[in-house]
C-alpha cells in the first residue's frame, strides 16, 4: 500500500448520457462546497475541462458513472498522473470501490487521511503497416485483434519478444492488462490477475483447432500480433474498431503511463469486490 493521499484541487466529472450521474455529481459538488472546497463540474465530453485536466490543474478527478466512465477517465488522467475516485452508478463496478449510497462516508475518510493511491498498468498499442506506424493507442483493459463484420475466423500469429508463441484460427486474440483480466478476457475464459501486476495476458477467443489456453507473459515482455487474413479489426478498450489489412502487425507492450485510483482499506479490497461480483450478473437479472 502506498502513502496516504489527500487532494487539494478536485474536479467532478460524470457520464454525459446518464442523467442520474449528473445529479449525483451536483450533490458531490454541493458536499465539497460545505467542506470549503470549490470543485468545478462537467461531463467527460467537456473539452475545456479535459484540457484543464491535461494541463495539470487538478490533483484528483471524481468520476461518476460505471466502469466505462472509469476507462474514459483513465485515458484522460493517466498522462497527467491525476488520481481518480470513482462513484459507481453502473451495473458491475469492477473498477470502483465507492457506491452511490455511501460516497459521503468515503469522502469523510478521504479528508481523514485514510485514502491511498493504487497504480494500474496500461498498454501501449501500435499498428504497423508496410513498416510504417499507423497509430498509437493506450488501454486500461485490453487491445483485441478480432474478426470484423464478416462471420468467419481470423488467422493470427503471436510472437513474444520476437519469438513465435503460437498461430491461431479464432474469433480474436485479447491482449489484456491485469485490470482487463476481469473484463473481456474473463468472459473468454482467462484467469484473473491481481491489479498490481505488470504482466500482459493473452487470451484467444473461440479458437478452432488452435492453442486454446491463456498465457501470462513475463513482466516487461511485449507481444506482436500479425494478421494473416483480410477480415480483422483492432479494438482498444472497446473504442471504435480500426480495420486491419493482411500482414498488419499490432504491437502491444506495457505503457509508459499508469492509471491511478484512489482506494480505501487494505489492498485486499480487490478480492472482496471480486467475490461480491462473481456470483451475480445484473445485466442478465441473475443474483444468487
| Contact criterion met (CB below 8 Å) for 223 and 252 | yes
Query: Which of the residues are catalytic?
Result: 67
Contacting residues for 168 by C-beta, under 8 A, at least 6 apart: 154, 155, 156, 157, 158, 204, 207, 210, 211
User: Is-contact 95 67, C-beta < 8 A?
Assistant: yes
User: What's the CA gap between 116 and 5, in Å, rounded?
Assistant: 5
DSSP string for residues in 213-281: S-EEPPTT--EEEEE-SSSEEEEETT-S-EE--TT-EEEEEEEEEEEEEEEES-TTHHHHHHHHHHTEE
Cα–Cα distance measured from residue 124 to residue 138, given in angstroms and rounded to the nearest whole number: 5
Cα–Cα distance for residue pair 185/241, rounded to 1 Å:
17
Amino acid at each position: 500500500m502506498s502513502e496516504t493521499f489527500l487532494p487539494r484541487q478536485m474536479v467532478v466529472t460524470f457520464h454525459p448520457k446518464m442523467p442520474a450521474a449528473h445529479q449525483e455529481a451536483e450533490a458531490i459538488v454541493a458536499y465539497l462546497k460545505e467542506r470549503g472546497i470549490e470543485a468545478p463540474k462537467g461531463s467527460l465530453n467537456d473539452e475545456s475541462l479535459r484540457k484543464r485536466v491535461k494541463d495539470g490543474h487538478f490533483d484528483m478527478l471524481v468520476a461518476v458513472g460505471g466502469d466505462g466512465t472509469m476507462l474514459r477517465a483513465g485515458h484522460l488522467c493517466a498522462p497527467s498522473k491525476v488520481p481518480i475516485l470513482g462513484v459507481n452508478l453502473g451495473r458491475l463496478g469492477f473498477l470502483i470501490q465507492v457506491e452511490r449510497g455511501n460516497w459521503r462516508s468515503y469522502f469523510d475518510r478521504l479528508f481523514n487521511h485514510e485514502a491511498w493511491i493504487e497504480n494500474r498498468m496500461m498498454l501501449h498499442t501500435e499498428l504497423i503497416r508496410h513498416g510504417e506506424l499507423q497509430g498509437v493507442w493506450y488501454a486500461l483493459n485490453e487491445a483485441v485483434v478480432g474478426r470484423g463484420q464478416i462471420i468467419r475466423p481470423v488467422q493470427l500469429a503471436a510472437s513474444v519478444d520476437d519469438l513465435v508463441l503460437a498461430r491461431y484460427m479464432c474469433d480474436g486474440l485479447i491482449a489484456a492488462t491485469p485490470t482487463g483480466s476481469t473484463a473481456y478476457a474473463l468472459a473468454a475464459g482467462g484467469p484473473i490477475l491481481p491489479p498490481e501486476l505488470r504482466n500482459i495476458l493473452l487470451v484467444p477467443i473461440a479458437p478452432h483447432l488452435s492453442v486454446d489456453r491463456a498465457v501470462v507473459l513475463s513482466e516487461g515482455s511485449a507481444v506482436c500480433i500479425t494478421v494473416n487474413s483480410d477480415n480483422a479489426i483492432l479494438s482498444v478498450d472497446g473504442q471504435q474498431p480500426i480495420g486491419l489489412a493482411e500482414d498488419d502487425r499490432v504491437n502491444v507492450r506495457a505503457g509508459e503511463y499508469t492509471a491511478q485510483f484512489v482506494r480505501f482499506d487494505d489492498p485486499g479490497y480487490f478480492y472482496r469486490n471480486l467475490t461480491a461480483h462473481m456470483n451475480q450478473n445484473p445485466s442478465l437479472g441473475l443474483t444468487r
